[in-house]
Amino acid sequence: MIIIENVIPAFIITLFAGLSTGIGSALALFARRTNTKFLSISLGFSAGVMVYVSFVELFNGALETLIKVHGSKTGQILAVLSFFTGILIIAIIDNMVPEHENPHQVRKERELINIKKENVNNDFSLKKMGLLSAVAISIHNFPEGIATFASSLSDLTVGVSIAVAIAIHNIPEGVSVSVPIYYATGNKKKAFIYSFMSGLSEPLGALIGYAFFKIFLSDTVLGIIFGLVAGIMVFISIDELLPASRRYGQGHQEIYSFIAGMAVMAISLLLL
């Protein structure tokens, strides 16, 4: 159920998740080199958290709520349909962005980490890449903001878990915006601001989601939202986090960290 007292904490949690693109920007601009092993483990861990929460908490919540209102058969059908609709929505958004401009293409992110400033001199194409990445990230982050906010309204523990997972996943996105803009303009401040602002669409999604919830909130809508959020989170984990973790890491780091993420999430849900 939606807990009204959670509105402000839920918004703060969503704001934190969105603005973590600034962390990636800061790491890229001020660190001498990126620890790709740590990044691999973090991304795999985030995927484990998201997948576990999606199936154990969110999809279960959708089932329970919709079955309570519509009965067993119809409730299950609505929950399953909402889950795959969430996947379809985020897949459509993902495909709106051309592959060569998509910030979730890990190959490009890794190349950006190794760009040498001396080889670039006010390169317009690099600046364009960074700006387009910022727009693409804003589009991607909007439904993530709604997902984080909706989960936090129901259960702050689940919301925080999802927010941390999304925050880790947003760090490479900050790299994909700030690095090309910096090496095209030589301006670290401008690169950081663009990267930081690209995450603002997540709290914007939260605000729009809250306006929607206030007007149309019902048990049926709540159950469908939980199903949608579960689908979105699973798609992000499989399409973005796990491939990124594999590319940045070595051996079976992504699998071990993925399982660790699920285990930590399971234990935290049992204890809290």
Q: Is 144 annotated as a binding residue?
A: yes
Residues in contact with 68: Cβ distance below 8 Å, sequence separation at least 6, in sequence order: 75, 219
Q: Is 202 annotated as a binding residue?
A: yes
Q: CA-to-CA distance for 62 and 232, rounded, in angstroms? A: 14
Strand (E) or helix (H) holding 222 = helix 219-236
Angle, alpha carbons 257-133-178 (nearest 5°): 80
Rounding to the nearest 10 degrees, give the CA dihedral for residues 94, 50, 147, 64.
120
Q: Is 170 annotated as a binding residue?
A: yes
123: left (phi over 0), alpha (psi -120 to 50) or beta: beta
Q: Is 122 annotated as a binding residue?
A: no
Q: CA-to-CA distance for 167 and 203, rounded, in angstroms? A: 13
What sign does the dihedral 246-191-29-203 (CA atoms) show? negative
Q: CA-to-CA distance for 205 and 196, rounded, in angstroms? A: 16
* CB hemisphere CA count around 129 (13 angstroms): 25
Single-letter residue type at 213: F
Single-letter residue type at 249: G
Q: Is 173 annotated as a binding residue?
A: yes
In the structure encoding, which two tokens stand for residue 70, read together?
């519509």
Which parts are annotated binding residues for Zn(2+)?
144, 169, 173
Which parts are annotated binding residues?
141, 144, 169-170, 173, 202
Which parts are annotated binding residues for Fe(2+)?
141, 144, 170, 173, 202
